């Protein structure tokens, strides 16, 4: 094969360089590309309702025992200072109202001694009272006939409003056997107390008073 002449070699060299430059112009290296992936967020239709739901306070429900533990402190209950019984061996009438405590329940019976409830005195808070009322005239309740015959015993706890003169103005049953409630309330309304006092001054106050119905054999 005949050797290429110098001008031929130069021509081929320049043609090759030109083709190389043209080829590189079409093969540009693209910079790093950043891809953004759109994320669709489904917003609530009613933003106001959602806000109200979030702000609504959490309600915790408790059982009756948790809401009202047995060791919960209660107000003191006053009772008669003596036992009173008849001489009958069976069906004896009497009261045995001892001092103690009881779990307060919703008042189910209320009777006012005044026709106008607005005339009732405003009771003083118990923690302000320096001297609590003391019974000076106790009335023995009538033992219900049916309770006698069936030999039923029980007790009635009452909420009692006593005015500045020591008179019973309002009686409400807290708890107790139904058969004894009327008799207990009728007797309670006739009680007379030495009034409660705050710094030596007589005041109205509410107390809890219990009467126990007890048979002796």
Residue 209 lies in a domain: yes
CATH code of the domain containing 168: 3.30.2420.10
Cβ atoms of 77 and 209 within 8 Å: the answer is yes
Q: What is the dihedral of CA 111, 114, 118, 124, to 10 degrees?
A: -80
Cβ atoms of 42 and 50 within 8 Å: the answer is no
Residue 94 lies in a domain: yes
Residue 14 lies in a domain: no
Residue 128 lies in domain? 74-213
Given a cut of 80, whether residue 176 has pLDDT beyond it is: yes
Residue 112 lies in a domain: yes
Residue 46 lies in a domain: no
pLDDT in tens, 48-96: 554 554 444 333 333 333 333 444 444 555 554 333 333 333 333 334 4
Q: Which residues pair with 154 in a beta bridge?
A: 213
Residue 12 lies in a domain: no
Whole-structure pTM over 0.75, yes or no? Answer: no
Residue 104 lies in a domain: yes
> Which residues lie below 8 Å from residue 196, measured CB to CB, with a gap of 6+?
124, 129, 131, 132, 133, 162, 202, 203, 204, 205
Residue 118 lies in a domain: yes
Given a cut of 50, whether residue 182 has pLDDT beyond it is: yes
**How many domains does the chain divide into?**
1
């Amino acid at each position: 094969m005949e050797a290429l002449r110098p001008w031929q070699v130069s021509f081929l060299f320049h043609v090759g360089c030109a083709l190389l430059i043209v080829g590189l112009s079409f093969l540009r290296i693209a910079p790093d590309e950043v891809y953004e992936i759109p994320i669709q967020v489904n917003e609530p239709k009613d933003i106001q309702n959602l806000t109200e739901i979030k702000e609504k306070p959490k309600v915790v429900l408790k059982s009756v025992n948790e809401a009202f533990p047995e060791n919960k402190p209660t107000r003191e209950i006053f009772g008669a200072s003596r036992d009173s019984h008849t001489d009958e061996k069976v069906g004896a009438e009497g009261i045995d109202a001892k001092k103690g405590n009881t779990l307060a329940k919703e008042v189910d019976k209320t009777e006012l001694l005044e026709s106008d409830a607005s005339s009732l005195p405003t009771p003083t808070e118990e923690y302000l009272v320096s001297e609590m009322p003391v019974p000076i005239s106790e009335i023995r309740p009538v033992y219900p006939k049916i309770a006698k015959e069936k030999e039923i015993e029980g007790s009635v706890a009452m909420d009692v409003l006593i005015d500045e003169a020591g008179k019973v103005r309002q009686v409400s049953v807290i708890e107790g056997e139904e058969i004894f409630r009327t008799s207990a309330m009728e007797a309670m309304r006739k009680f007379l107390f030495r009034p409660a006092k705050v710094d030596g001054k007589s005041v109205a106050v509410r107390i809890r008073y219990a009467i126990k119905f007890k048979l002796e054999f």
